[in-house]
Structure 1
Amino acid sequence: MKVVLIGYRGTGKTVVGRLLARRLGLPFIDTDAATEGRAGMSIPAIFERLGEEAFRAIERSVIAGLADEEGVISTGGGAVLDPANVAALRRGGTVVLLHAPASVIAERIAGSDRPPLTALPPDEEIREVLAIRRPYYLRAADICVDTAALTPGEVAEAVLDHLHASGRDIGILDGFSMPSGERKRLASLPAPTRLFGIAGHPVLHSRSPELWNALFAECGLDAHYTFLGHPDFSAVLDAAVGLGVQGLSVTIPHKESALNAADRADPHAEAIGAANTLLIRCGMCCASNTDWIGVRRPLDGVLPGRAVVLGAGGAAAAAVYALLDLGCEVTVLARNPEQSRALAGRFGCDSGTMQQFGVIRPEIVIHATPVGMGGDPGSLLSPADLLPSMTVFDLVYTPAETPLLRIAAELGCRTISGTGMFVYQACEQFLHMTGIRVLPERVREVLGV
């Protein structure tokens, strides 16, 4: 067994770690102490003589050696900012975030000889650094315990209760669409297994469960990714909370609802007005949007110019956001003029109806509707609408070659399939939900694309 304690200084990692190690009959490992031993000097001395970068390099080396170790591991406060550290700590382990309000931490660490991280007064530094680190702590954690009003013994008992938790009520999933056998599979999972899933309607076409479960196995995570198909997002969220789901990938038609349901949202999700990622940890629901990364990265090397986005939903908003980041002049076209005007108005873009496509003659076309998904033979554009000089990007990724892309390729257009978007947004989403970085090349290998 491996139990890893993360969190800011003063949250009780060392004391609680020693108690847990005794209770579980495991060795106790303090990565700060191991780093000092490796360097032959104290942490303040490392910072003073070698600098923080050298400290982080030594710390990374120490943590890398713990990937396959059993024990209770207490980490430095900034360790999980490095995805390589998170990958090593999470392999075969359970990560526990110990946290407390900034005021409590300030009282506990008053008089410490640790070097300051900023030029701010101590109280302000704690608040600022906590705000920066909070997303990293949340994405790396499996369990969260607030230590503010608890004794170290009580914190240790709370962690043990989580580690020995009993089963889940799978009946909460009545009415959800799932592949044959998935409910039985969920019922058979041990309670400590972390759950993730895709929320949408429909979802059974999604390859996310195939991808994520393969990545979980490679990363040594005791986790399972499932289907949460339902037309009502509030029902999805209730089921997710009831089952202890730690992260949701969100697809059509729930992206706007996901943002509205979140307690916190990153600036990209707020600007786009939609979330495709929900992190559910520590009693909070945190929203982010990685779709725009999935659109932006495949367009690297494409010169900015006139661009048209077809559609006015959450995926279309992410596409507009990405195109503006590229420096394009963007027009939103949709079959519903009111929806296209509303989306364009949020970003200061032009809007119109599908009939205006030929007048604009864009260099870049991004299709962001479900047309062409699955077995749908439809395409919003015909061969007469396209020119060989155009770059045509279809965000639909199932199938990889949609009717629109087939038409565009036959005309000599540069084509980008939705697979590219899926790959890059998935890499970013996996980082958001686990703290572990995976390479696009590995995602493509898993999917065979």
Structure 2
Amino acid sequence: MKIVLTGYRGTGKTAVGRRLAHRLGLPFADTDALIEEKAGIAIPEIFEQRGETAFRRIEREVIASLRNFNGVVSTGGGAVTDPANVAMLRRDGTVVLLTADPAVIEERIRGSDRPGLTVLPLRDEIREVLRERRLAYLSSADVCIDTGSCSVGETVEKLAALLTAVPAMPGGFSVPGDLMAVRERDPLTRICGIAGNPCSHSRSPALYNRLFEEYGLHYYYTRFEWPTVEPIVRLARALDVRGLSVTIPFKQDIIPFLDEVDADAAAIGAVNTVVQCGGRLHGFNTDWLGVKMPLEHRRGARAVVLGAGGAAAATVYALRDLDMAVTVLNRTRERARILAERFGCAWGGFDEFEGRDTDVVVNTTPVGMEDARRSPLPADRLERGMTVFDLVYTPPETKLIREARMMGCETIPGTEMFVHQAAAQFRLITGIAVDAACVREMMQ
């Protein structure tokens, strides 16, 4: 068993870690102490003489040495902003984030000889650094505990109960059968899953379970298929589900049931990723990143988006972030107008498509999914040198992609959108940065 405590200075990592290790009969390791031992000088002197870059390098080396450690580890809050550190700390372990109100932290650390991380006054620095690290903290932690109003002893007892109790399956829910077997085998396995209706065709369970195995995570990914989203959210809270991939038709419907929604998801109006920590559900959108990443090389281009649904909103958001001039085309012109006006774009009907005025085409409609003989555009409207991105990934090669390639276009299949959004989603859920090439390989 490896238990890692992290968090901002003053949240009690070292004191809680020592006592928790004693409580569980496990060895204790403090990365700050190991860093000082390795450097031969105190941490303030490392910063003063060698700078923060040197400190972070030594920190990475120390954390790497604890990859197979069996015990309780206390590590600095800055450590988990590095995905490589998170991968080491998470392997065969449980990461616990200790939190406290900024005012409590300020009171606890005032007068410390540790150098400041910014030039700001202490109070402002705490709030600014917490803001900057918020996502890294949320993504890297399995358990979140507020120590602001708890003594060290009370925090230890809370943690010991969380780490040793066997969670019961909630009554009154239709729990997926595979979860019963997983919980019987390992009651502390963290649960993730895809929420949709239908979602039995999804490739996510196979992909994520391979990634969890690759990184030594005690996680399991399943399916939550139900006609409406509210029962899925209630079950996710009851099971303390760590992460949800949200698919059709719930990307908009789930928003009212979440505690927080990040700025990108709010602007798009859809959530495809939910991360839970400390009983709070946080919503994100990685679909737009799945569109943006493969098109980085076409920044500033003239783009046409086919369709005006949820996928189209994420696509327009991505293309606008790439400084593209965007036109939304849809069979129902009114829907195209509504979406386009949200993002300050041009709009029209499918019949208004002009290939000679277009550098990038992104198909967000389902045309070509159920009937591989169909395409949203006639081949003769495609121009050589155009980039054609079809978000449909089943089948892997749609008629649009096949004809675009024959016309001399650069083509991007829908699997690329899935790969990049999944890599971003995996990082949100685990704090680990997985390379797109790794995701691609595991999907084969």
Q: Is the 8 A contact 1:269 1:289 kept in 2?
A: yes
After superposition, the Cα gap between the structure-2 partners of 1:373 and 1:168, relative to the gap in structure 1 and judged at 3 Å, is farther
Q: CA deviation at 1:366?
A: 0.5
Look up the equivalent residue of 1:428 and give its one-letter code: A
Q: Is the 8 A contact 2:355 2:381 kept in 1?
A: no
Say if 2:352 is the partner of 1:356: yes
Q: Counterparts of 1:332 and 1:416 in 2: how far apart (Å)? A: 19
Aligned to 2:228: 232
Q: CA deviation at 1:173?
A: 5.0
Once the two structures are superposed, the pairs formed by residues 94-109 of structure 1 within 5 Å of their partners are 94-109=94-109
Aligned to 1:115: 115
Q: What are the Cα deviations for residues 32-73 of structure 1, in whole angstroms up to 9, with x where unaligned?
A: 010011111111111111111111110111001111111100
Q: Is the 8 A contact 1:5 1:13 kept in 2?
A: yes
Q: Counterparts of 1:332 and 1:198 in 2: how far apart (Å)? A: 29
Q: Is the 8 A contact 1:138 1:282 kept in 2?
A: no
Q: Is the 8 A contact 1:205 1:374 kept in 2?
A: no
Say if 2:217 is the partner of 1:221: yes
With 162-171 and 287-296 compared, the bigger mean Cα shift is at: 162-171
Q: CA deviation at 1:235?
A: 2.3
TM-score of the superposed pair, with normalisation by structure 1: 0.93
Aligned to 2:302: 306
Q: What are the Cα deviations for residues 341-370 of structure 1, in whole angstroms up to 9, with x where unaligned?
A: 121111100112222224885221101123
Once the two structures are superposed, the pairs formed by residues 207-356 of structure 1 within 5 Å of their partners are 207-302=203-298, 304-356=300-352
Aligned to 2:155: 155
Q: What are the Cα deviations for residues 274-300 of structure 1, in whole angstroms up to 9, with x where unaligned?
A: 222111112322222222221112123
Aligned to 2:377: 381
SS at match of 1:237: helix
Aligned to 2:189: 193
Look up the equivalent residue of 1:194 and give its one-letter code: R
Q: CA deviation at 1:308?
A: 1.1
Q: Counterparts of 2:431 and 2:160 in 1: how far apart (Å)? A: 23
Q: Is the 8 A contact 2:183 2:189 kept in 1?
A: no
Q: What are the Cα deviations for residues 360-391 of structure 1, in whole angstroms up to 9, with x where unaligned?
A: 85221101123333566543223344334432
After superposition, the Cα gap between the structure-2 partners of 1:172 and 1:352, relative to the gap in structure 1 and judged at 3 Å, is farther
Aligned to 2:20: 20
Look up the equivalent residue of 1:219 and give its one-letter code: Y
Q: CA deviation at 1:168?
A: 4.1
Q: Is the 8 A contact 1:258 1:278 kept in 2?
A: no
Say if 2:424 is the partner of 1:422: no
Q: Counterparts of 2:367 and 2:416 in 1: how far apart (Å)? A: 18
Q: Is the 8 A contact 2:237 2:279 kept in 1?
A: no
Q: What are the Cα deviations for residues 246-270 of structure 1, in whole angstroms up to 9, with x where unaligned?
A: 1111222222234444333333223
With 288-297 and 42-51 compared, the bigger mean Cα shift is at: 288-297
Q: Is the 8 A contact 1:14 1:74 kept in 2?
A: yes
Say if 2:159 is the partner of 1:164: no
Q: Counterparts of 2:169 and 2:325 in 1: how far apart (Å)? A: 51
Determine which of 361, 364, 367 is the counterpart of 2:363: 367
SS at match of 1:153: helix
Q: Is the 8 A contact 1:264 1:286 kept in 2?
A: yes
Q: What are the Cα deviations for residues 165-201 of structure 1, in whole angstroms up to 9, with x where unaligned?
A: 3244266553x8x7xx635545545221111111222
After superposition, the Cα gap between the structure-2 partners of 1:365 and 1:90, relative to the gap in structure 1 and judged at 3 Å, is same
Say if 2:398 is the partner of 1:402: yes
Q: Counterparts of 2:330 and 2:165 in 1: how far apart (Å)? A: 49
Q: CA deviation at 1:396?
A: 1.5
Q: What are the Cα deviations for residues 193-220 of structure 1, in whole angstroms up to 9, with x where unaligned?
A: 1111112222122111111111100111
Q: Is the 8 A contact 1:59 1:79 kept in 2?
A: yes
Q: CA deviation at 1:28?
A: 0.6
Look up the equivalent residue of 1:301 and give its one-letter code: H
Say if 2:65 is the partner of 1:52: no
Q: Is the 8 A contact 2:15 2:152 kept in 1?
A: yes
With 340-349 and 275-284 compared, the bigger mean Cα shift is at: 275-284
Q: Is the 8 A contact 1:262 1:285 kept in 2?
A: yes
Q: Counterparts of 1:189 and 1:339 in 2: how far apart (Å)? A: 50
Give the unaligned 5+ runs of structure 1.
none
With 420-429 and 233-242 compared, the bigger mean Cα shift is at: 233-242
SS at match of 2:194: strand
Q: Is the 8 A contact 1:80 1:136 kept in 2?
A: yes
Aligned to 1:412: 408
After superposition, the Cα gap between the structure-2 partners of 1:242 and 1:370, relative to the gap in structure 1 and judged at 3 Å, is farther
Q: Is the 8 A contact 2:355 2:383 kept in 1?
A: no
Look up the equivalent residue of 2:253 and give its one-letter code: S
Look up the equivalent residue of 2:439 and give its one-letter code: V
Q: Is the 8 A contact 1:201 1:231 kept in 2?
A: yes
After superposition, the Cα gap between the structure-2 partners of 1:186 and 1:92, relative to the gap in structure 1 and judged at 3 Å, is closer
Look up the equivalent residue of 2:96 and give its one-letter code: V
Q: Counterparts of 2:299 and 2:54 in 1: how far apart (Å)? A: 40
After superposition, the Cα gap between the structure-2 partners of 1:375 and 1:243, relative to the gap in structure 1 and judged at 3 Å, is farther
Look up the equivalent residue of 1:298 and give its one-letter code: P
Q: Counterparts of 1:303 and 1:11 in 2: how far apart (Å)? A: 43
Aligned to 2:3: 3
TM-score of the superposed pair, with normalisation by structure 2: 0.94
